[in-house]
Amino acid sequence: MPKQPPIPYDYLPEVPVLTVESDDIRDGERLADKHVFNDWGMTGQNISPHLRWSGAPAGTRSYAVTCFDPDAPTGSGFWHWVLFDLPPEITELPAGAGGGDFKGLPPGAIHARNDYSRKEYGGAAPPPGSPHRYLFTVHALAADTLGVDSDAPPAVVGFNITANTLARGYIAPVYEL
């Protein structure tokens, strides 16, 4: 029986590209153990990576930062980090800013619940056998706030991010057991 081709991941509208850089992660390179989940049988440190960005267009009123695994065997991917309502003067996050204690984040920044059901960064935890991509994405937004709270599901936050995106950029490291 013939197999269907894989479903392409990126259905997002094309927008200008932000430059996203990190002192901790690189596109296509393996995530360090410090960025791996510390639960579900994993023994990482669950520390969000350092991120900095530039090149936002005029009219940028806030930012959102997400980490999404499009390779998760769920049919809908897996949201590891959903952070939004970052003010426009913020163009860098230190390592560990994704912690649940909101250390290193400006007032007003909101962590939504990730797919681990936690309001913080949740590191890589793929099933054994295949490499997964982790898309650390910064979104420049046309809204001061997204108008949702920290209890909004990642898909709802993602919908509001996409509706307000002026530009985006990402770094996609990988991790495999």
**Alpha-carbon gap, residue 84 to 93, rounded angstroms:** 12
Query: Does residue 169 carry a pLDDT above 60?
Result: yes
At 3, the pLDDT band (50, 70, 90 cuts) reads low
Q: In this predicted model, what pLDDT tens digit does every residue of 69-85 receive, in sequence order?
A: 999 999 889 999 999 99
- Domain containing 79 equals 19-175
At 6, the pLDDT band (50, 70, 90 cuts) reads low
Q: In this predicted model, what pLDDT tens digit does every residue of 86-101 receive, in sequence order?
A: 999 999 999 999 997 7
Contacts of 163 (CB under 8 A, 6+ apart): none
In a domain, 51, yes or no: yes
Beta carbons of 103 and 96 less than 8 angstroms apart: yes
Query: Does residue 56 carry a pLDDT above 60?
Result: yes
DSSP per residue over 135-157, as a string? EEEEEEESSS--S--TTS-HHHH
Q: Which residue has the higher pLDDT, 75 or 140?
A: 140
**DSSP alpha helix (H) spans, 1-148:** none
In a domain, 117, yes or no: yes
**Alpha-carbon gap, residue 34 to 23, rounded angstroms:** 13
pTM over cut 0.85: yes
Q: Which helix (H) or strand (E) holds 155?
A: helix 154-164
Structure token digits, residue 28: 């296509």
For the chain, give the percent of residues with pLDDT over 70.
93
Query: Does residue 61 carry a pLDDT above 70?
Result: yes
**Distance of alpha carbon 144 from its chain centroid, rounded?**
19
Domain count, the chain: 1
Given this model, what pLDDT does residue 40 score?
Answer: 84
In a domain, 13, yes or no: no
In a domain, 2, yes or no: no
